[in-house]
């Protein structure tokens, strides 16, 4: 059964990014049965071992093994200071140089300002490429104001959720192609062209009003 790992890079215990990653995983298991899914929040790894790059320590080693064994990764990060988080980078830095070769990746970001909607393309995508990822599907930037948390279950505003689920469907298609063995005619064609991560545009329902009400980026 193909393995799918969601890697989340928020230091926050009540992370909106985790909500988005969980929605993506839930949709995958419901609508695309046949994947084994798991989520790894980097903040739950021992900080001292992470920062000192102690790859041999049990929890770090298990986390690195989980990445190595995954057929696909959802890599989800909040935007911090116009980029992905240092926490996520600390973990990605522990991967071998070919750590993402052969894997499909769905990049996701949450942020408070549409000013940083291109963070996936300008900051995260080059790192994924350097690690050998070839099937990086179109990602999504999710405005934090569209994440609804409160008395009920965590969820996204419907329009934002629809857009996210479309990205997850495309990712599921890429996972199937990435997992297919090469044929005599050559390796399987990429499921997606290396289009910008944020194309199509982020949640179509995001209006100028949404942008104005979004949390101001610190
Ligand atoms: C230290 C810090 C820096 C941030 N920098 C940005 C930023 O540069 N651009 C942006 O759009 N949002 C920024 N934000 C807002 C977060 O990206 C946004 O609220 C995100 O959804 C938080 O995700 P989380 O709850 O998973 O941590 C920042 C938030 C914090 C705490």
What is the CATH classification number for the domain harbouring 75?
3.40.50.360
Give yes or no for residue 41 having a pLDDT over 90: yes
Gap between the Cα atoms of 212 and 133, Å rounded: 35
Q: Does 200 reside within a domain?
A: yes
Print the domain residue range for 93. Answer: 3-213
Q: Does 21 reside within a domain?
A: yes
Which atom belonging to ligand 1 lies closest to the Cα atom of 12? 27
Q: Does 131 reside within a domain?
A: yes
Q: Does 14 reside within a domain?
A: yes
Q: Does 100 reside within a domain?
A: yes
Ligand 1 pocket: which residues have CB below 6 Å? 10, 12, 15-17, 78-82, 110-113, 116, 144, 215, 217-218
Residue 177 confidence (pLDDT): 76
Give yes or no for residue 212 having a pLDDT over 50: no
Number of structural domains, the chain?
1
Q: Does 46 reside within a domain?
A: yes
- Of the listed ranges 37-46, 82-91, 171-180, 202-211, the least confidently predicted one is 202-211
H/E stretch holding 78 reads: strand 72-78
Residue 179 confidence (pLDDT): 61
Q: Does 218 reside within a domain?
A: no
SS3 at position 72 = strand
Q: Is the Cα dihedral 91, 17, 19, 22 positive or negative?
A: negative
- Separation of 173 CA from ligand 1 center, angstroms? 30
H/E stretch holding 106 reads: strand 104-111
104 confidence band (pLDDT: 50, 70, 90):
very high
Residue 151 confidence (pLDDT): 77
Kind of pairing between the strands at 72-78 and 3-8: parallel
Which atom belonging to ligand 1 lies closest to the Cα atom of 116? 11
Q: Does 124 reside within a domain?
A: yes
């Amino acid at each position: 059964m193909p393995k799918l790992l969601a890697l989340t890079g928020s230091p926050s215990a009540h992370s909106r990014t985790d909500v988005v990653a969980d929605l993506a995983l839930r949709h995958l298991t419901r609508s695309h049965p046949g994947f084994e899914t798991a989520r790894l929040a980097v903040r739950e790894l021992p900080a001292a071992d992470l920062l000192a790059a102690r790859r041999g320590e049990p929890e770090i080693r298990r986390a690195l093994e989980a990445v190595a064994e995954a057929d696909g990764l959802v890599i989800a990060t909040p935007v911090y200071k116009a980029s992905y988080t240092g926490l996520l980078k600390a973990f990605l830095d522990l991967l071998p140089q070919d750590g993402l070769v052969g894997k499909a990746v769905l990049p996701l970001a949450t942020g408070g300002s549409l000013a940083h909607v291109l963070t996936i393309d300008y900051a995260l995508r080059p790192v994924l490429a350097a690690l050998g990822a070839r099937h990086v599907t179109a990602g999504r930037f999710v405005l934090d104001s569209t994440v609804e948390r409160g008395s009920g279950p965590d969820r996204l505003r419907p329009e934002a959720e629809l857009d996210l689920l479309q990205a997850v469907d495309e990712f599921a298609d890429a996972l199937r192609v990435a997992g297919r063995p090469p044929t005599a005619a050559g390796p399987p064609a990429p499921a997606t062209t290396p289009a910008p991560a944020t194309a199509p545009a982020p949640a179509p329902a995001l209006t100028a009003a949404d942008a104005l009400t979004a949390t101001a980026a610190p």
